[in-house]
Structure 1
């Protein structure tokens, strides 16, 4: 009774104060402290909110400091005050009645809300997938956010998404994936697995998987879009973390992440440095079936890299509705690529004609600059009424020199020396404008534009040792100029009701591509304009069962290295080159998916169909035992597949994840009078088990299987491998010890064979087991993180 009387008198006193302030039209300062009712401890990051008494809409808010204190100012004339924190019962204070320039709430004590705490634990403990109108949303729960894992590991937990040993990200087994951060291209998302290792799981709110993107998104990429949504950082003061990693083969790095936040600014930076080795065991057999001769080769390649990475950026909060972000990234890679390959030449009787070794010494320096400017405006009439502009600039350079030496061991003389030089420069600029206008809670319009400019110059030179001096090889020396501009405009409209929703849109893209070999004046120009329609619908049958259907048209534009005709002569019997006359692929994509939530089990099931024209395939040509691989446009492909994802937690300390994808395909096409019509199928599966052991130890095991499949010429063998990981949390989660083993049984082998009437080619590649050990510590309010340096390109 006394407590209620005190609350009543206190609120009456506050009402009296505010009434005087209204009359004077002066700024009101509200101060106080927030404490736990039981335990008498201050509550940090509690929310203190001023809201309009009539509309109930927030006017202004803040969060408490470490000692539970807060200061808040307003000129509002009719408001109430609410104090809240997750897991505690909120307290509201009506309009004060006393007059004065300062309202002192004193010590506000919050009591625990047992029911809310249980809901928070249930909902936040385990990561979950849910359906939205045109995407699936993977909400990152406590099971991931407290593990110290990187963004790449989080993605590996998302149904349909896989991250391989190189950090390459695939969706439903395809690698044409576009990675976005908060819905836009970003420095952090560049080059896929590059800087994503510097994002930690605790920073990620959710991951949106868009397998069939709407017209709002860039039409590039046939596999879809993965959008990583970062939490709005609310930690005041200086926060950060430091990590140290080591591994075998040599993989050592140190990383520091710092964040300084005030009311107006959020300054963030990341620094990293390290050294790593990436060995490859290779085996090749080139057999001429007409002459019964063969070239056998086997050896080991290394790509050793010392890297430095620095990210610096700031968010400037102009006011509550306008935020300006400026960030930049500088990275430097110093590469050393030694390799040693043994060759054997056999005659028709399989007798050795000659044996020799080819050694390579390659040095390269790769500077990278990336910078980003973003402005976001939130309109006051609706929380989803926004305007976003972003500009992203990217520069990559490579200054590389290589020396190749052939040394005869026995038989015919194969001594030869070669030198190559590469001077590569690439600039990419992306400008993006998006406007979202909700007309009501159900009807929304989106419109915007994007302009991408890509400019490349690659100066490549090959010199052969002749009579003691190096002589330029004009057939392998040239300057390749590449210039591409893409302008896109889009508009979408959507309706989303309680059970049913529909979203339709169209995107217009104009592409202007020009390539030029300057030494030989070989030019290629392509200009084309395309419409990319999209339609999506969803229906919620019950709270636990939902359906989603979608259609979109996509494009895959040939990449720079698809077009660049220069030879790679590391193994001069196995040569790769590009094709400057390649055309883009176009894909019509249809899918129907569903989600079921059954107690401790969530199940995603779907069927999809893709029809692709001008399919780009790697085609081998064979002459004098030399295999030359070049991309070509060959016909059409029809693929139909089914997908199954499930997550099951039978008991609190065990979570099981299963992914399965099966597809059949039919190819039709003719290339240089050769018919490439054929059909086949392929499937992949992944089973992951997570165990929470005593003493804050987490154990994870992931088994992967990828079936064999056919291409237009080759048979690719299946793969079966397992990854293991264990983590130990220390100091109440502020520190993390981690041990990971990738390809634990060294069973991940890439094998393929091409069997034609006049030649046979066999290729084998293996990278072997990777073991990594790491320690991370978070200070301030920072979390332990895992640092991963920039991925090489």
Structure 2
């Protein structure tokens, strides 16, 4: 039992019995000083535990300060004291015989336990994956946590997870993944401008990958959930880190992270500033096969940003079993988009009939405010028996103006001027209540409710120059209002034994959606109620072989930009448009996965099947060489997939991580008398190699391949690219120098082709190579970290 308590050191810091709140007896104060035997140096953060001698359960506890001293109070009449620290032999004191209120243990000397220390190091050396009923748990080991990288880099090490050059996260090749922090939405994990770069690897205990979420989680989304679980770090005092980064294309930032922890408060903040340049080379070809005309366009689109970011928050320990968390994030982005595109018009014989250039000058200010409030209550000192209330709010605005000028170079006159104005406001509020009750160590119940309010207003105006004045174009101008409220209730029950476990649940969600186009007086209201069942089971054959199976029903509700019929006229021959009549798509998801531990290798293998109805696809409508892309509900999709992940560490200085996904699908659907029945397949793979080099250098290479895939109207081409990273620890690990190159050979190209009976469309986009150099330094008890801002994708 004592060894078990020692291994629980990270979480046994402020455990106190509820009887401590209402004690009528006289309180005793226990003090002392803890030092090392060999050096006589004080031991900070050693665990001091007061426990019941009969049950050996904790009564109260604390940790030593920087100088090794401690002071703890108890009103218990019968107790013993245990002092422990990882890597040292514990010392136990029976209850001292005293009639006073003070107990001084004097100087407590702890000696190193070599065998125990070796066990701990080996156990924490390598990151490993294991099953927990409805989730796959990636435990972050020393091979990652000691490198000082950000959470985004840690996610790139997790099987099935990819993080692209812009920080977008995908799971099994699909985006739209929901990111949670400690099981709930968070300011630092929101999709819009998230600050995951402020979370370092040493702060992360584990990452839970939920590809088939249970009824406990929001039924929204089909890609799955990634939950980042933060360590219960009990370091007191002042901690901090500063990060400076530069790169090409221009990407320069400075970030400062500060943390102050005391007995009652944990204050944290993050301040960031930066500028970045995001160029993209684009190429389009629109071919009208009826009139034998072609329009070609090529250019470079820029998105230059200056951004400011501030995060402030605090954890307040009302009592040891009642914690209140309040945090906020304010960000401001100032955009500049100086883009230029050249156009060429061809006749049926391939002769040039006209050439012109379209330039864009866009300026925008995007303020964003987020807040988070959470209250957590642990019952009877049991963390597994708890009640959590959380509230997350997000306010975002965009004030944007654009000037477009067409200048004729040759041939037909295409001179024109346009202006657009965007006044956008969005408010999203999420309220969540979760209650977890373990009846025994094996049986557990979870229940709760969630209410999400989404309120959007987008005032969009297009004006054309008639030679003397700008005249509003009523066909492209409108005020769009979007309101969606989702109310959900859930309940789950689970049994988890030593080898076998099962979990079942049911979620009820009611959705009320309303869209309104003010200028045309078009209104669309949807009100629907759905049940989302789930069932999961897992079985551990041996310590090295285990299996998991699960089923859940999911929903994808159309987003704002799926519904808004007006979007962007940057290239007025390639227009994206929303559909206010779009319906949600539903997916039944089944999967079976397994884990094999073979010496220094771990292997994951799984198969999954998804049946989706009312599938949302983006359909191209072609007229006068203008390609308008609009989402539509088209039929159903049957998808079957295989997934294989493997990690192998042949040497202490090398680790290899491989990821392979293969899917085959059958589509059935009809849209406007056109039948879209077809079958196809695709596969993707990722191979990552990490090598420890002399002089504390670390080299990491990641190769990615995505095969071509047939789409509803055409083909999306394959993609092959390589990322490279080099890192060096300096100043005894308190600082890190890093060099990263994304898309080393500039081979990552997004290429799509559409071939229909009456038209053909080809489009190509490329971001190019990104190079970044960073320096991070941790002070106090802080660790070196990387700061990375991320743009709000609008």
Q: Normalised by the size of structure 1, how large is the TM-score?
A: 0.96
- Counterparts of 1:240 and 1:534 in 2: how far apart (Å)? 43
Q: Which residue of 1 aligns with 2:676?
A: 676
C-alpha contact (below 8 Å) 2:255/2:273 kept by paired residues? yes
The match for 1:446 is 446
1:154 is matched with 154
Query: In the TM superposition, what is the alpha-carbon distance from 1:104 to its structure 2 partner?
Result: 1.4
Q: What residue in structure 1 maps to residue 6 of structure 2? A: none
Judge conservation of contact 1:382–1:438 (CA < 8 Å) in 2: no
Pick closer, same or farther for the CA change 1:770–1:649 going to 2, 3 Å: same
Aligned to 2:645: 645
Partner of 1:608: 608
| Partner of residue 593, structure 2 | 593
Provide structure 1 residue ranges, at least 5 long, that are not aligned to the other structure.
Answer: 1-22
* Equivalent residue number for residue 170 of structure 1: 170
Separation in structure 2 between the aligned mates of residue 604 and residue 735 of structure 1, nearest angstrom: 35
Tell me the CA shift for residue 233 of structure 1: 2.3
Equivalent in the alignment of 2:506:
506
In structure 1, the partner of 2:394 is 394
RMSD of the alignment, in Å?
1.1
Contact kept? 2:187, 2:194, Cα under 8 Å: no
* 1:116 match: secondary structure: helix
Measure, in 2, the Cα distance between the counterparts of 1:712 and 1:291: 24
Report the Cα offset of residue 199 of structure 1.
1.2
Cα pair 1:301 1:340 within 8 Å, conserved: yes
Distance (Å, rounded) in 1 between the aligned partners of 2:254 and 2:378? 38
Separation (CA, whole Å) in 2 of partners of 1:508 and 1:49 = 44
CA drift of 1:88 comes to 1.1
1:497 aligns with 2:497: yes
**Is 1:325 matched with 2:325?**
yes
Query: After alignment, is 771-780 or 90-99 more displaced?
Result: 90-99
Partners of 1:303 and 1:200 in 2: CA distance = 28
Q: Contact 1:152–1:193 (CA<8 Å) still a contact in 2? A: no
Residue in structure 2 matched with residue 3 of structure 1 by the alignment: none
Hey, what does 1:524 align to over in structure 2? 524
**How does 1:552-563 map onto structure 2 within 5 Å?**
552-563=552-563
SS at match of 2:278: strand
1:243-392 equivalences in 2 (<5 Å): 243-380=243-380, 382-392=382-392
3-state SS in 2 of match to 1:368? strand
- Check the 8 A contact 1:167/1:791 in 2, yes or no: no
* SS at 1:441 equivalent: coil
Q: How far apart in 2 are the matches of 1:25 and 1:364?
A: 65
Q: Give, in whole Å, the separation in 2 of the partners of 1:407 and 1:176.
A: 39
1:231 matched to 2:231? The reply is: yes
- Secondary structure of 1:420 counterpart: strand
* Equivalent position SS for 2:475: helix
How many residues were matched structurally? 771
Provide the rounded CA distance (Å) in 2 between the counterparts of 1:204 and 1:359: 46
Q: What displacement does 1:792 show?
A: 2.6
Range 401-410 or range 186-195, more displaced: 186-195
Structure 1 equivalent of residue 188 of structure 2: 188
Where in structure 1 do 4 or more consecutive aligned residues deviate above 6 Å?
Answer: none
**Partners of 1:697 and 1:86 in 2: CA distance:** 28
Q: CA deviation at 1:52?
A: 1.5
In structure 2, the residue matched to 1:15 is none
**Shift, 1:381, TM fit:** 6.1
SS in 2 for 1:121: helix
* Runs of at least 5 residues in structure 2 that lack an aligned partner in the other structure: 1-22
Q: How does 1:396-545 map to 2 (within 5 A)?
A: 396-545=396-545
CA 567–187 in structure 1, closer or farther in 2 if over 3 Å, else same: closer
User: Contact conserved, 2:167 with 2:790, CA < 8 A, in 1?
Assistant: no
1:584-629 superposed Cα distances (whole Å, 9 cap, x missing partner): 0100000000001111011100000000000000000110000000
Give the C-alpha shift of residue 231 in structure 1. 1.2
Separation in 2, partners of 1:707, 1:504 = 36
Whether the 8 Å contact between 2:582 and 2:632 is mirrored in structure 1 is: yes
| Greater mean deviation of Cα atoms: 54-63 or 536-545 | 54-63
- Answer yes or no: is the 8 Å Cα contact 1:169–1:193 preserved in 2: no
Q: Distance in 2 between matches of 1:647 and 1:55?
A: 42
Provide, for residues 284-316 of structure 1, a one-character-per-residue CA deviation record: whole Å limited to 9, x for no partner: 000111222100000001000000000001111
Q: For each residue in 1:92-131, what CA deviation from the matched residue of structure 2 results, as whole angstroms up to 9, or x when unmatched?
A: 1111123322211111111111122112111112111111
**Residues 227-268 of structure 1: per-residue CA shift (max 9 Å, x gap):** 011111211111110110000000000000000111001110
Query: How far apart are the structure 1 equivalents of 2:392 and 2:583?
Result: 27
1:87-166 paired onto structure 2 within 5 Å: 87-166=87-166
2:18 aligns to what?
A: none
User: For each residue in 1:556-577, what CA deviation from the matched residue of structure 2 results, as whole angstroms up to 9, or x when unmatched?
Assistant: 0000000000041000000000
1:24/1:580 CA distance change after superposition, 3 Å? closer
Question: Is the CA contact (8 Å cut-off) linking 2:36 and 2:109 kept in structure 1?
Answer: yes
SS in 1 for 2:421: strand
Q: Which residue pairs with 2:551 in the alignment? A: 551
Contact 1:221 1:556 in 2 (8 A): yes
Residue 337 of structure 1 aligns to a residue whose secondary structure is strand
